[in-house]
Amino acid sequence: MNPAPKSSARTVSPSTTLAYAEAFVAEPDGAASARQRGEDLGVESVSTGVAATLTVLARMLNARAVAEIGTGTGVSALALLAGMAADGVLTSIDAEAEHQLAAREVLTGVGIATRRVRLIAGQALNVLPKLTDGAYDLVLVDGDPLEYVEYVAQAERLLRPGGVVVLHHAVWQGLVADERVDDDEPLIIREALASVLENEAFTPALLPVGDGLLVAVRN
C-alpha cells in the first residue's frame, strides 16, 4: 500500500487545483475559433477540462459512432472527433441551425471531412427516437436541462453494451448539490442523475470537471 501524502503547512485551494486541471491539456486546432464563435452567438461551450475528458473517453472506446445532444459552435465536436476512430461519425443534434452552421465552418476550417459529422437541426426529443438502437459508442448530453431525464432514457436505448453516456452541467453551478435549491434546472438534473444511479443498466461516476460531468457505462 502506498503511504499517504505527507501533510504540509502550505495548502492549495480547491479552485487553484481545478484551474490547474482545466488547463492541463491543450485544446485541438479550431477550439479557440469555436469558442469565439460561441461567445459571439451567446452559446456556452464546454470547458477545456471537459473537452479533454471527452477526447479521452472517445479514444478509450475507439468510438466509431457518437451522438451529441447540443452542437453549440463545435467545441465539444472537435474534442470528440479528436478521440474517435479515423472512420468514426459524429451525429450532432441542435435546435439552432445558426449554431450548427458556425460549427460546420469551424470543423471544415480544420480539415474535418463533411462525411464524418452528421448535423441534424431539430428538437432532440423528436430526432433521438429515429436513431438506431444499440448503435452508439458514446452519447453526450448537453441540451435542454429540463429534458435530461428523457435524454437519459434515450441514451440507454441508443448505447451498445460498454458504451458511455456523458451528462454535461451535472452539478449546474453547484446548485444540484444543495437539496434546498428547487429551481427547475437543478431539480430536473438531480432527477436525471438519480435515474442513472438507480438504474442497473449503468455503472456511473460523477466527475468534478467543468460544470460537472456524469459519466456512466452501459452494462
Structural domains in the chain, sorted by start: 14-218 (3.40.50.150)
b vs e for 153-173, b when ≥16 Cβ sit within 10 Å of the residue's Cβ? ebbbbbbeeebbbbbbbbbbe
Amino acid at 63: A
pLDDT at position 5: 63
pLDDT at position 7: 58
Residue 76 neighbours by CB under 8 Å, 6+ apart: 45, 46, 50, 51, 54, 68, 70, 140, 142, 168
- Reported as a pLDDT band with limits 50, 70 and 90, residue 14 is confident
Q: How many CB atoms lie within 10 A of CB 215?
A: 21
- Reported as a pLDDT band with limits 50, 70 and 90, residue 4 is low
Give the mean model confidence (pLDDT) for residues 175-189: 95
- Reported as a pLDDT band with limits 50, 70 and 90, residue 8 is low
| Whole-number Å distance between alpha carbons of 149 and 215 | 15
- Reported as a pLDDT band with limits 50, 70 and 90, residue 75 is very high
Cβ 54 vs Cβ 76: under 8 Å: yes
Give the mean model confidence (pLDDT) for residues 213-218: 98
pLDDT at position 15: 86
Residue 92 neighbours by CB under 8 Å, 6+ apart: 67, 68, 70, 71, 77, 100, 103, 117, 118, 119, 120
At 80, list the grid cell: 470528440
Cβ 63 vs Cβ 138: under 8 Å: yes
Per-residue pLDDT tens digits for 23-60: 999 888 899 999 999 999 999 999 999 999 999 999 99
